[in-house]
Amino acid sequence: MSLARRSAIVTGGGSGIGASLTAALVGAGADVVCTDLDLGAAEKTVARLAGPGSARAAAVDVTRAAQVQQVVDEVVEAHGRIDLMFNNAGITYFGDTEDLTLDQWNSIIDVNIRGVVHGVHAAYPQMVRRRGGHIVNTASMGGLMAAGLMTSYVATKHAVVGLSLALRTEAAAHGVGVTVVCPAAVDTPILDKNEIGPYRGRDFYLDGQGIKRPLDADMLARRVLAAVEANEAMVVEPRRARLAWRVGRLSPTFVNRTTTRFIARQRAQARKKSA
């Protein structure tokens, strides 16, 4: 589908992949609501944009179903439809699982799973009624392959992949597309976070995937929009990530052993740094 004059919502648009998706959509001529829990961050994203499309900022907490529903209803009222729903907002915790609090488990489940469910619940029925539209859910390579020290994140992203692929099989009969985005490490602020334990985010995320340089968020956004136009089921980037995923499908035991050794190495390095 052409994206010109399409109505779109992006959650988590205040930074990272969400900000790049918003910019790419405006550049393609779409009319976008850039939402974020941090309204100021969303406003900064919108202020930097230029293109044939338009954008406005809105404060939305994706864990609150009513807030997600409200922004979808506003778009439908303004445009008569919601064409594109990008359920992109997400958080991560990494570190030893025994150090995770129950509050942290609940938080990541609420944002990464319920946030997507709320977006689907609000937008999908509108798309079914008008027999058109596209839902894009941001998952991760962590939704395709399992790595320790980020167990809660992996669990939630596997759920997003499963939800997306299952919904796609239903949605096709209604003329609605569904795409799930599964990138390896992307150059966003999430790489520098270190919420739990002695592990260093950027080294962990890049080392763990054998990547020297993270994926550029703007490049990923352009790739995602191309996938939407082509109605592709999945976006797995970069090429190295696709190869790793295929190896994992062919030889899960090999990947499990490799990942186990990587975890042991990370723990040894963390102990050395903290000594």
Q: What are the residue numbers of the active site?
A: 153
Residues 6+ apart with CB under 8 A from 221: 17, 20, 21, 23, 24
Pairwise CA distance, residues 212 & 170, whole Å: 39
> What tokens were used for 64?
């609150």
Pairwise CA distance, residues 135 & 143, whole Å: 17
Pairwise CA distance, residues 9 & 22, whole Å: 9
Pairwise CA distance, residues 96 & 98, whole Å: 6
3-state helix, strand, coil in the chain (%, to 5): 55, 15, 30
Residue whose entry in the numeric block shows the structure tokens 């900064």: 44
Q: Is 247 exposed, middle or buried (0-12, 13-18, 19+ CB in 10 A)?
A: middle
Helices (DSSP H) in 10-53: which residue ranges? Answer: 16-27, 39-47
Residues 6+ apart with CB under 8 A from 137: 87, 116, 119, 120, 160, 163, 164, 178, 179, 180, 181
Residue 239's CB is within 10 A of a number of other CB atoms, namely: 9
Determine contact, residues 57/45, Cβ cutoff 8 Å.
yes
Pairwise CA distance, residues 32 & 116, whole Å: 18
